[in-house]
Amino acid sequence: MTENTVSNAVAVRDNGPGAMVEAYSADLATVMPSHVRPETFVRLAVGVLRRDRKLTEAAQNNPAALMGALMDAAQLGLTPGTEQFYLVPRKVKGRLEIQGIRGYQGEIELIYRAGAVSSVIVEVVRGSDGFRYAPGRDERPEHDIDWDAEDRGPLRLVYAYAVMKDGATSKVVVLNRAQVMQAKAMSQGSDTPYSPWQKHEEAMWMKTAAHRLTKWVPTSAEYMREQLRAHAEVAAEVRPAVVAPTPQPVTTVDHDDDEGPIDAEFVDDEPAAGWPPAAQPGTGARA
């Protein structure tokens, strides 16, 4: 976002954060993926700001932080104020400001959008659940849940994996409580009362596992472009070769100053990668 956009956002601050977002809908639209409808994105963002008094206060305190968070959500094509992309207030130098945090549904959405997987499974394992998984022996975890139990116990593990479109199983990510707590400690503002770690702990466990899974599966439309390029290259290789006409004999005259034939080298230049790169973009069924 340009300095001019930030200064203009400050200028419309007195009209409220909703008016601020509407005023800069064109800026947001310029960075959105083609599948996102700008008017829908703006309407949902305005709605969540107007429903939450703390978010309204945080947006008025720092319009640039609000617009920065919304720009991040827009670039990823994720819905702000949902479990795809949280908008949360946090204290900075004693004043509330808005922070954008990608949620577990957002991580899963980016995986699906790449087009390489048929399903993504992300689940938490609680104290009374049965869980078995041995890497190298088991293709997928076995997770037994007593759905009649009133209390399945505390969060114990979380796991995530994807089923690729060819039926293969991706790497299975399994994290225990200590590993999740390490991730939480690295999350800015996770100990504040406004953090999704405090309000949506199970969802943040799932987000942590889903985020780790993104290291092992495609999460970008670049994957689809590479597939199309590969198909085009294969198609070019199997095209019938063009048969050159049989050369006819020609009469040549020798001269002492004639030069021999000049060897020519044909170079097939590789086109530069395009810009911008595509956006990187749950539980058994698609979230």
Burial of 218 (0-12, 13-18, 19+ CB in 10 A): buried
Quick check: 275 pLDDT over 70? no
Contact 172, 213 (CB under 8 A): no
Spatial distance between the Cα atoms of 185 and 44, rounded to a whole number of angstroms: 30
pLDDT digits (tens, 9 = 90+) for 167-196: 999 999 999 999 999 999 998 888 888 899
pLDDT digits (tens, 9 = 90+) for 68-96: 999 999 999 999 999 999 999 998 888 99
Spatial distance between the Cα atoms of 49 and 44, rounded to a whole number of angstroms: 9
Q: How many helices (H) and strands (E) does the chain have?
A: 11, 7
| Spans of all domains in the chain | 3-102, 105-213
